[in-house]
């Protein structure tokens, strides 16, 4: 049981628009979007932010999915983990690269560049204590990522802490996120 009903249809114009945008982007309406459907403002804004995050950006979607998996794993979130594994694989990440996220193997994997490893280290530190991201790590991050990319990555990491918290709190199951081809 979810904490709130999964809205199937709504008379609210904002919710209808959010559902339409979600269907266009994901190929269907994800359960989390339906769970938000009883609150038009939250449904509209959180759906829009999810859509903006889950596409090519200043950082490739292929790597963003790795970051999302690492974020969910580091913050002990189960919401949509399997669904994001499927997306990560569909976007071209290898099964071994995806698998290395869930423990410490990414640190010694040659499938990750140092620039990518620095981002995963940021994920871990934000999860532990966002007040304590070292200057040294930021120096390494700035060496390989520009300011826009770093803002996008910080937002992505923290957004998926939010999405994981909301999904887990409401008890939403999301076995499949995209029913359209993402590659």
Partner 1 sequence: MSSKVAQLPLVEPEDADPIAKQVYDDAQARFQMVLNIFKVTGHAPEMAKPMWDIFFEILAEGQVDWYTKELLILKSTNMGDCLYCVTQHEVVAERLGVTPEKQKDIVGQLYKDSPHYSDKERAILDLCSHMCVDPEGIPADVWSKVKSYYDDGQIVEIVATVGAYIQVSKFGDALGVQLEAVFAQHQPRLFAREAPKSPAARKHLKHFLDAQKQA
- Taking the least distance from each CB to partner 1, the nearer of 64 and 84 is 64
- Taking the least distance from each CB to partner 1, the nearer of 15 and 66 is 15
> Does residue 169 bind partner 1 (CB under 8 A)?
yes
**Please, which of residues 81-120 interact with partner 1 by CB under 8 A?**
none
CB 179 within 8 A of CB 27: yes
DSSP class per residue in 35-98 = HHTTSHHHHHHHHHHHHHHSS--SS-HHHHHHHHHHHHHHTT--TTHHHHHHHHHHTT--HHHH
Distance CA 111, CA 13 (A): 46
* Among 115, 155, 173, 178, contact with partner 1 (rule: CB under 8 A): 155
CA distance to 52, 60, 159, per residue, from 18 (Å)? 13, 25, 18
Segment interacting with partner 1 (CB under 8 A) among 21-29, 60-68, 98-106, 165-173:
165-173
> Does residue 24 bind partner 1 (CB under 8 A)?
no
Q: How far is the CB of 93 from partner 1 (least distance, A)?
A: 22
Which residues in this chain contact partner 1 in the complex, by CB under 8 A? 3-5, 35-36, 38-39, 41-43, 45-46, 48-49, 51-53, 57-58, 76-78, 122, 125-126, 129-135, 138, 142, 147-148, 150-152, 154-155, 157-159, 161-166, 168-170
């Amino acid at each position: 049981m979810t904490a709130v009903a999964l809205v199937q249809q709504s008379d609210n114009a904002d919710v209808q628009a959010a559902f339409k945008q979600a269907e266009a982007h994901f190929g269907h309406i994800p359960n989390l979007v339906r769970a938000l459907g009883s609150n038009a403002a939250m449904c509209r804004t959180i759906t829009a932010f999810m859509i903006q995050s889950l596409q090519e950006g200043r950082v490739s979607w292929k790597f963003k999915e790795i970051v999302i998996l690492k974020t969910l794993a580091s913050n002990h979130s189960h919401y949509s983990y399997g669904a994001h594994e499927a997306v990560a694989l569909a976007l071209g990440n290898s099964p071994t690269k995806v698998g290395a996220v869930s423990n410490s193997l990414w640190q010694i994997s040659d499938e990750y560049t140092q620039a990518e490893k620095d981002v995963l280290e940021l994920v871990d530190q934000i999860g532990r204590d966002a007040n304590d991201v070292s200057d040294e790590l930021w120096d390494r991050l700035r060496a390989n990522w520009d300011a826009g990319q770093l803002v996008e990555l910080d937002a992505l990491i923290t957004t998926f802490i939010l999405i994981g918290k909301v999904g887990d709190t409401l008890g939403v199951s999301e076995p499949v996120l995209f029913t359209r081809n993402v590659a």
